[in-house]
Every structure is written in C-alpha cells, then in structure tokens.
Amino acid sequence: MLQEESDLALIIAQIVQKLKGSTLYAQLERQAWASLQRPEIKLESLKEDIKEFFKISGWEKKLQNAVYSELNVFPLPSHPAAPPEHLKEPLVYMRKAQGSWEKRILKSLNSMCTELSIPLARKRPVGEQKELLNKWNEMGTDEPDLSLFRPVYAPKDFLEVLINLRNPNYENGDSHSFRTHLGLIQVPLKVKDIPELKEFFVELGLTAGQLGIDDSTQVPPELFENEHVRIGQKVLSEQDSAAAQQYIRQGSPTALRAELWALILNTSSQPEDILYYEQLKTNVIQHDLLVDSLIYKDVKLTASNDDYYFVFEDYLYQVLLCFSRDTSVLGHFAYNSASPPKSYIRGKLGLEEYAVFYPPNGVIPFHGFSMYVAPLCFLYHEPSKLYQIFREMYVRFFFRLHSISSHPSGIVSLCLLFETLLQTYLPQLFYHLREIGAQPLRISFKWMVRAFSGYLATDQLLLLWDRILGYNSLEILAVLAAAVFAFRAVNLMEVTSLAAAEAVLADLSTLKVMPLLQIFLFATVT
C-alpha cells in the first residue's frame, strides 16, 4: 500500500510539472485572478470558492482533459534508477537494433544527398519565397523533377529488419524446435490471446450496438443509432475527454466525428495554435529541406494515385511540409525507442553545441508516410486544425508503426499478435500458406504499417481509427488483419503461390470492418 501511494504521488508530481509549462496553466492563473472580482469569491474560503468557480465555468473540465491526455500519452514514471534510454525502450537488444536501423536510414539519406549534390537544407532566395507564398494553396500543380529522388525506405525493407531481429539471450537454435516461432517474427514478446482480447475489446461484443453494423439501412435507427447520436451530442456539450474516449469505442456518427477526435486528442483552437501553424508555414517558405522533395515524391507516388485522396493533394503538402519543421514533435522521442538524427554544422563534427536535428522534427518520411494524413482530410478542412490533429495522432500512435520497440502497440508486437492469432485459430490456413512460401505477415505487414490507410474504403477506415482512439491502442490493426485472412480463408486455401495469395488479398475496399472484427473476436467457434 505504501508503494502504491508513493507511485501515485510520483505520477501526480510528474503531471503537474508537465502541465506547469503549458498554456493551460497560464490561462487558469489568469482566470483565477480575474475571478477575484466576482462577488461569490470570499477571502475566508478563497481556495474552495475558486475551485467552485472553476467547476462551474468549465475550466476544471479542461484541466481534467489535460491530465487525462497526459496519462494516455506519457508512460508511467519508471524506477528512479532507470536511465532515460530505459524509458524509451527497456530491452537492450531492441535499442541496439533500432540504433543500427537508424544508421542505415541516415546513410541512405546522406548518400542520396551526395549523389544528387543537393544540400540537406538551404535558404530560399527572396524571389522563390514570393513564388511559393503565392502558390501555397496549389502546390500540387508544381511538377518539379523528382525522378532522381527515391524514398529513403519502404515498408518491406523495414519488414526484413524485423524478421532478422533476435534476442541474444534467446535459444535461437538452427534446427527447428519448440523454441522457433513458425511465423516470421522470432522474438518472444507477450501478446494477448483471444480471451484477453475479448475482455479488452468488450464494447465490440455481440450484445453492444456498433456504428458500422447497427446503423445499416436494414436496422431501424430507433434501436441504437438515434440514442447513440444523442449521447454523442451530450458528450460533446460536456467537453469531457474521458467520456468521449469511452463513447467512441462504439463508433462515432459522421457528423460528430471531427469534434470528438479533437476532444479526445485534446487539441484546442486558440489563436496561439493558429499562430504556431503560420510560423511553421513561414519556416517552410524561408528554407528548403531535402526531405521536402522526399515528401513531394511520396505524395505524388501514393496519395495522388489514390481514388479517394487525390483531391487532397494540396492539403497534404501544407501539412507535411510544416510537420517536418515542427520542433515540438521532438518531445515524443522521450517515449519513442527511435532517436532523432543528429547532424553537425559544417566543420564542427562531434561538438554538441553545434548539433542540430535533421529534419527539425526528427522524423524521416518513408514511402507511404503521407497516407497517415490523407484520411484526416475528410474530417478537417482548416489547415491549422488538420495539422494539429495529424501531429497529435502521430505522436500518440503512428510513430509506433515504424520504430522497433517492445511496446504492446509497437509494430513488432502487432506482427507477433497477428501471426499468433492466425496460427492459433486458423492453423490449417497458416500451415498451407507457409508451405507454399507465402508467409501471411509478408502480405499483411503493409496494411498494419499504414494503419490500413489506402486499403480500406474511407468510411470503414474512419470507423477503424475511431476504435484506435477509443482503446488508445493499435492492437486492433493486428486483429483486423487476422480477421481479413479468416474471411478469405476459403479462397486462400486454394492458392499455390505467394503472388496468387497477394491477388486474393489485393482488394480490401469492399470489406466492412466492424462485422469482420466482431465475428473474429466473438463469434468464431474455437
């Protein structure tokens, strides 16, 4: 009991310290000072009266939302003796693997830089700045020569790294024994099995209503949909983050989705935030980075070719170019196993005072990165709002999909969860695919790395991302991947090669996400 109390005190102290530096703290202070003018605030009971005032005026709710957001995003304070690397990633061999992967990416970037003799960053001449400012809303019409650029890495390169991940203390015999895993991932991380998943995703059960199932045309809206929308409106009027997160587990009505996501991610629309975005825009105009060309190339290769997202091409540039320059993103590296690439001012190699992070936000985009932003364009039309939501989604969820870590929502755990679910509940299918040389992970990896963006129809994708926000976990991606295989199992049993298996699973755009998940989790006879 003593230990729990001191743990709680430590968590409270950590959150208070984090919030002290935020704008919310300054706002609360100002409100408290202003409230002294009010007649109901008496000097004898100053503390209680101000607390009461905060409760009535809704400021306490804002504080609650901020605390809830901190609890969700930041890991619990660890042991005082643990060094900061331990907080990023507790397992030493994974830290090493992430470090060598980062070295490879940097080498690739640097070699592209020297090959094309383009500087990593340069200041734009004034004429070019003016031109870019005029063209800001239609950067898609620009057709720079990007033929020499190539993406720094693609998801399949990353998959190879994960396949070769080994724990040096683990019995990795050459001969197959009970120790070697049948799938591609060979590290023994703890993943949930179906009974645990059933408990975790209890709101997706057969007895609870779901948007994505119970709002179809055959079901009368009085049964579930009307009531659900009414509750959603109430949650929004109360402005309660925790309630919104619980509510969205059953799906979000399309009309309320934009506001609900903003509430759950605790983003605000203060003038300061719009000003911050404008500042980032100015940075884009003044300086040109090499990663900008990588972003252009990625958007042109992926989002512009997609039937649903090509209309948002200009928005994507506006968000991603600003994202590369946002140094506040560096904060998430405290709990990300990755580290931002460091480079040194010319001639000052090794001197810490001359070290800069490149790109300024520490994130090097890979092939398909722009697909994280594309679905959000359906919800938010104002660039600064769209930018904030994307940034929050990235530092909460998406970064885990391309860094090597032992976190339960990290891509390694998701891959292992997918393979374990498939082996346990569809052993014949798994065995057959393995025999024909079509390891299932080779097909589903690209779905999970992109969080299914670009593979599912947009409305289905947004229903899936509702659940990611609601459960604050990416495990649902692995469950959906296994459910897709279960759905197409009959066709897959008849294929005889990897290419044929890929063809069976090439088009997911007709799939309905929620029925698949419900059947796989709650209605499959084991």
If you ran DSSP here, which 8-state letter would residue 206 be given? Answer: T
> Which of 82, 206 has the CB closer to other proteins?
82
Q: Using the minimum distance from each CB to other proteins, give the nearer residue, 47 or 79.
A: 79
Q: What's the CA gap between 217 and 517, in Å, rounded?
A: 20
- Using CB under 8 A as the binding criterion, the count of chain residues that bind other proteins stands at 22
Q: What are phi and psi of 525, to 5 degrees?
A: -80, 125
167 near other proteins, rule: CB under 8 A: yes
Binding mask 65-104 for other proteins (x = CB under 8 A): -------------xx-xx---x---xxx------------
10-to-4, 66, 76, 84 alpha-carbon distances in Å: 10, 17, 9, 16
224 in helix, strand or coil?
Answer: coil
Residues 141-160 that bind other proteins (CB under 8 A): none
Beta strands in 375-431 (DSSP E): none
Binding piece for other proteins, criterion CB under 8 A, among 162-170, 196-204, 217-225, 292-300: 162-170
User: By C-beta, is 21 or 168 nearer to other proteins?
Assistant: 168
Q: Quote the least distance from Cβ 71 to other proteins, whole Å.
A: 21
Identify which of residues 83 and 347 has a Cβ nearer to other proteins in the complex.
83
* 3-state secondary structure at position 213: coil
Name the phi and psi angles at 287, rounded to 5: -125, 145
Retrieve residue 510's tokens: 């007709």
Nearer to other proteins, 156 or 179 (CB): 179
Cis peptide before 253 (omega within 30 of 0): no
The residues in 41-60 that bind other proteins, with binding defined as CB under 8 A, are: 43
CB of 186 to other proteins, least distance (A): 11
**Both structure tokens of 234:** 């109430």
* Binding residue (CB under 8 A) for other proteins from 7, 29, 85, 171: 171
Least distance to other proteins, CB of residue 514, Å = 30
Shortest Å distance, C-beta 64 to other proteins: 31
Report the C-alpha gap between 35 and 429 in whole angstroms: 67
The CB-of-423 to other proteins minimum distance in angstroms stands at 16
Residue 240 tokens read as 């309660």
- Binding residue for other proteins, selected from 56, 117, 145, 190, defined by CB under 8 A: 190
Q: Cα dist. 163→156, 186, 274, 439, 510 in Å?
A: 10, 7, 43, 12, 31
The first and second tokens of residue 424, run together, are 């346990």
Closest CA to 22 of 241, 272, 238, 245: 272
Sole window of 10-18, 168-176, 326-334, 422-430 interacting with other proteins (rule: CB under 8 A):
168-176
Residue 188 or 427 with smaller CB distance to other proteins? 188
* Using rule CB under 8 A, residue 346 touches other proteins: no
Report, in Å, the least distance between residue 192 CB and other proteins. Answer: 11
* H/E run at residue 83: none
Residue 500 structure tokens = 């044929």
Task: Please say which residue, 388 or 420, places its beta carbon nearer to other proteins.
Answer: 420
- Tell me the C-alpha to C-alpha distance, in Å, between residue 183 and each of 91, 417, 494: 21, 11, 20
Cβ nearer to other proteins, comparing 91 with 489? 91
Q: Which residues contact 327 (CB under 8 A, 6 or more apart)?
A: 357, 360, 361
Beta carbon of residue 204, minimum distance to other proteins (angstroms, whole number): 25
Q: What mask, x for binding other proteins by CB under 8 A, covers residues 4 to 43?
A: ---------------------------------------x
Q: Are the C-beta atoms of 430 and 490 separated by less than 8 Å?
A: no
- Residue 406 within binding range of other proteins, rule CB under 8 A: yes
From the CB of 87, what's the least distance to other proteins, in Å?
Answer: 11
- Residues near other proteins (CB under 8 A): 2-3, 43, 78-79, 81-82, 86, 90-92, 167-171, 179, 187-190, 406
